[in-house]
Amino acid sequence: MRVAHLARQFIGGVWRQGQGDKTLVDANAFTGEMLAEFAVATNADVDDAYAAAKSAQRQWAAVNAYAKRTVFERAVAVVEQRRAEIAELIIAEVGGTALKAAFEIGLVIDSLKEAATLPLRIEGRIYPSPVEDTENIVYRDPVGVVGVISPFNFPFFLSMKSVAPALATGNGVVVKPHEDTPITGGTLLGSIFEEAGLPAGLLNVVVTEIPVIGDYFLTHPTPRILAFTGSTAVGRHIGEVAARHFKKSILELGGNSAFIVCDDADLEYAVDAAVFSRFTHQGQICMSANRILVQRGVADEFQRRFVAKVAALPVGDPADPETVIGPLINTRQAEVLNAKVDAAVAAGARVALRGEVVGNLFPPVVLADVKAGSEIARDELFGPVVTLIEFDTDDEAVAIANDTEFGLSGAVHTSDLTRGMRIARAVDTGMIHINDATIADEPIVPFGGEKQSGIGRLNGHASIDELTTLKWVSVNHGRRVYPYQNLTTAT
């Protein structure tokens, strides 16, 4: 795989080496073989990137909305043409399976198609005024420059999810991808938009590490919005820094989704949805179902069917088209997750399924008899580990589902849609799906979480709301009379 052309910084429309002395090695997630090397970006490179975005944005904001739309339409065509190359990159760098790569590319194409509509949907308003002969015009303007920090799990899509609407609403962008996925989360996007004809400097990509730049990407005076997708711990820090510097933050953070199976559910269908909800991309998705809550009367039958299906999932090389469970992003993640499983078993959880972890290849784990409120039931499990929890009543299911600091996604399976809606409305989460999976993202539906799962919403009109600002201009068409205007002046 040739990726040398993508192993550079993309700043001001120029592909160049970073100014740092340190080298970042980008490795194949499964084999560990080196894919590319980056000379990391320094604070000076960050300065250049933000300066380029700020300069280019002034001209971009004035570009006709229909001309803006054309760029995104061309970007869709570029992704379609480069689909095989992009899939190969996702498999190698991210450790995603062929199915995951196809799924992620499809999400990106939908995101770009939706972004193409945004320039034509930005609207202002005219309001009446209590002042005679005056009208109030409220414009919706771009904020200027947006800083985007993307994660390692769905880097191509989750970078594009912020980058495309930020550009479409008239902003300049600087992206800092995760150090484990600098190409699929960063320079690949630069390459696509360059080919699509985006004006030079409007989108910039800096590949670096936090020990090199610290918080400089966040504290830099240029960006007015910081959009981050990742862990709650890091998101909390970014939100605090943003607030101190009077910047807006959009935070899409961790999750601990509950998948609720009622006693009147279609069990076979619920099993299929639960397997997809937990084990897609090895469970490394913020919306993944960490907890499966099953009503006691059908718990044994559900567990039997579920464990049998999970045990049959092929584990191995993500380059093999038959593989469903590929590697975690690195061995550190595997070690942390394995320790959580050990602790849960020591605390009384029963192992219904568990294989041997080899490096960062982590076979599925199913833990039964998990107590609601236990540590493993309240924490995010970013990997192919799932807990089974039994409940008796709908109210108990809701209480268990809400017993977590997170509130991102969820699912309810029942043949009674009124019952499903009642449960769904009672769960404290930004998104929840009746008779479907916990993993869902559609380009026009607001996406985001409650509690410590994040702040803000993206997709569709929500992206316009988040990535623009309002400006009030009043116009007096007459001659207003002010207080004290008719006072005579002593001569």
CB-CB contact of 454 with 235 (8 Å): yes
How many Å from the N-terminal Cα to the C-terminal Cα in the chain? 88
Q: Which helix (H) or strand (E) holds 401?
A: helix 394-401
Helix (H, G, I), strand (E, B) or coil at 483: coil
- Distances from the Cα of 158 to the Cαs of 82, 120, 264, 328, 483, in angstroms? 18, 23, 36, 18, 55
Q: Is 262 in the active site? A: no
CB-CB contact of 209 with 40 (8 Å): yes
Of 409, 430, 410, 433, the residue nearest 421 (C-alpha): 433
Sorted by sequence, the CB contacts under 8 Å of residue 335 that are 6+ apart come out as none
Residues in the chain: 491
Q: Is 286 in the active site? A: yes
| Set 93, 104, 179, 252: catalytic member | 252
Helix (H, G, I), strand (E, B) or coil at 113: helix
CA quadruple 40, 45, 46, 49: dihedral, nearest 10: -120
Instruction: Quickly list DSSP for 193-220.
Output: HHHHTPPTTSEEE----HHHHTTHHHH-
d(CA 36, CA 28): 9
Sorted by sequence, the CB contacts under 8 Å of residue 287 that are 6+ apart come out as 255, 257, 277, 408, 409, 431, 438, 439, 440, 441
Of 169, 176, 132, 133, the residue nearest 151 (C-alpha): 176
CB-CB contact of 200 with 171 (8 Å): no
d(CA 407, CA 404): 8
Sorted by sequence, the CB contacts under 8 Å of residue 183 that are 6+ apart come out as 3, 6, 7, 26, 35, 36, 89, 93, 177
Q: How many CB atoms lie within 10 A of CB 324?
A: 23
| Set 93, 114, 286, 466: catalytic member | 286
In this structure, what token pair is assigned to residue 143?
Answer: 């904020």
Q: How many CB atoms lie within 10 A of CB 395?
A: 11
CB-CB contact of 424 with 410 (8 Å): yes
In this structure, what token pair is assigned to residue 201?
Answer: 């400097």
Q: Which sequence positions are flagged as catalytic?
A: 252, 286
